[in-house]
Structure 1
Amino acid sequence: MDHDEIEQAIAAARLLPVLRTSDAASAVRAAETLLGAGLGVVELTATTPGWAEALAGLRRAHPDAVLGAGTVTTGEDARRAVEAGADFLVSPYPAQAVRAFADETGTVFLEGGFTPAEVAAASGRGIAKLFPAHVGGPAYLRSVLAVLPGARIVPTGGIGLGEVRDYLAAGAYAVGVGSDLVKAPDPAKAVRELLEGEPS
């Protein structure tokens, strides 16, 4: 996939699972479940022990999936992520070293920010990650988009499954959901119910 196709895949998915677990095996199991449910985009965080190996294993098992590495804050982790098969990188805050690596390699990068200035800077270069989104909620996202019309913003952080549609209605490019999705009794069913009937 090229740069544009990866960004379009994130938009089409609408839901971006952020898999932050205590071990790599749990992350892989969660990713396998979600990919099996038809969700083609998954993000594994670099705070998970063994994340790079887990990412590489998922890439081998799912060559057509769009896989991301999240909580990437250093150039070294960015390099490891791409070598493991990541299609895109995500940071929780402005990360110059990751940005430089992404620019150099042409890798899709969702740079994090919270203030309008941070989000404006990130969205001017590509897709912005709004973090922690729960602090302001959908109303804050709507306010940011009012002054940044056309910005592609993925709110993430503290978002419950029941709030996903509210963020999409507020203008989110896609919505990042972490622990609430992983802890769901049936994550695959939760994904299907959330996205059923949602506009693309």
Structure 2
Amino acid sequence: MAVNATTPSLNPADIASYGPVIPVIVIDRVEDAIPLAEALLAGGVKVLEVTLRTPAGLPAIEAIARQLPEAVVGVGTVLNAEDARRASEAGARFAVSPGYTSEVGSACKGLNLPLLPGVATSSEIMQALADGFQFLKLFPAEAVGGIPLLKSWASPFGQVSFCPTGGITNATAPNYLALPNVRCVGGSWLTPGDAVRSGDWARITQLAQATQALRQAS
């Protein structure tokens, strides 16, 4: 398969350079993958995190990677080395994990697959730093402390930047983006389940377009 064999390499820091929001996408039907991705691209959102929470996740990644090379499609919910391997072969250009283990970190490095590791504690940050990762995902952001936690971490972990994900909305995103150690946020509000099920791609494009103003609002 090896769909991503000829795609340009991606530095982990590049993930945050395309826009303030990375959509966290759950796909139930593979046939929704392309129109959904096209709707997000039309709204200016180029980086797409397709999760492995459903059986449709992996084939959806492969479809987007093959048919929409302008999209930077990545894989979410990576729990182990096998998840990383299968996603890389399907064409994922980056990986996101809800937590962090050295197994996942090592596997992604071996695959040349940029990883955005999830952390929720100082110990996890220290382990990720020891393994060479400095751009991390705070998850689940709202549940574990959100903005106050990120402010507390700014001093002891000054070299770390974050992509908070989990419970963040269009209304609260600017508050996160205003923090100096936050480079982008992740959110599922760009792809509401009812809009995907009904094929309301215009609504998804509008939600994507609205994210472009979030950085300025922060």
TM-score (norm 2): 0.81
Q: Deviations over 1:118-160 (max 9, x none)?
A: 1243254242111000121222222222321131211111111
Q: Which of 187, 193, 196 is residue 213 of structure 2 equivalent to?
A: 196
* Residue of structure 2 equivalent to 1:127: 135
Give the secondary-structure state (helix, strand or coil) at the position aligned to 2:117. Answer: strand
Q: Which of 43, 48, 55 is residue 49 of structure 1 equivalent to?
A: 55
Give the secondary-structure state (helix, strand or coil) at the position aligned to 1:138. Answer: helix
Comparing 6-15 with 80-89, greater Cα deviation is found at 6-15
Is 1:151 the counterpart of 2:157? The answer is no
Aligned partners of 2:205, 2:41: CA distance in 1, in Å? 9
Distance change >3 Å, CA 100–CA 9, structure 1 → 2: closer
1:79-90 → structure 2 map (5 Å cutoff): 79-90=85-96
Give the secondary-structure state (helix, strand or coil) at the position aligned to 1:155. Answer: coil
Q: Which of 116, 138, 162 is residue 147 of structure 2 equivalent to?
A: 138
> Given residue 177 of structure 1, which amino acid in structure 2 is its aligned partner?
G
> Given residue 100 of structure 2, which amino acid in structure 1 is its aligned partner?
P
Contact 1:139 1:170 in 2 (8 A): no
Q: Deviations over 1:96-124 (max 9, x none)?
A: 33212112122100111101221243254
Cα drift, residue 48 of structure 1? 2.0
Give the secondary-structure state (helix, strand or coil) at the position aligned to 1:107. Answer: coil
Q: Extract unaligned runs of 5+ from structure 1.
A: none
Give the secondary-structure state (helix, strand or coil) at the position aligned to 1:44. Answer: strand
Aligned partners of 1:99, 1:56: CA distance in 2, in Å? 22
Is 1:176 the counterpart of 2:186? The answer is yes
* Residue of structure 2 equivalent to 1:94: 100
* Residue of structure 2 equivalent to 1:113: 119
Is 1:64 the counterpart of 2:74? The answer is no
Cα drift, residue 63 of structure 1? 1.1
Count, aligned residues: 198
Contact 2:26 2:51 in 1 (8 A): yes
Cα drift, residue 181 of structure 1? 2.0
Q: Deviations over 1:50-83 (max 9, x none)?
A: 2111111101121132111000112111111001
Cα drift, residue 93 of structure 1? 0.7
Distance change >3 Å, CA 48–CA 36, structure 1 → 2: farther
Percent of residue pairs identical = 32
Aligned partners of 1:29, 1:119: CA distance in 2, in Å? 37
Is 1:163 the counterpart of 2:172? The answer is yes
Q: Extract unaligned runs of 5+ from structure 2.
A: 1-7
Cα drift, residue 43 of structure 1? 0.3
Give the secondary-structure state (helix, strand or coil) at the position aligned to 1:98. Answer: helix
TM-score (norm 1): 0.88
Cα drift, residue 197 of structure 1? 6.7
- Say which one has the larger Rg: 2
Runs of 4+ in 1 over 4 A off after TM superposition: none
* Residue of structure 1 equivalent to 2:30: 24
Aligned partners of 2:116, 2:184: CA distance in 1, in Å? 11
Cα drift, residue 27 of structure 1? 4.6
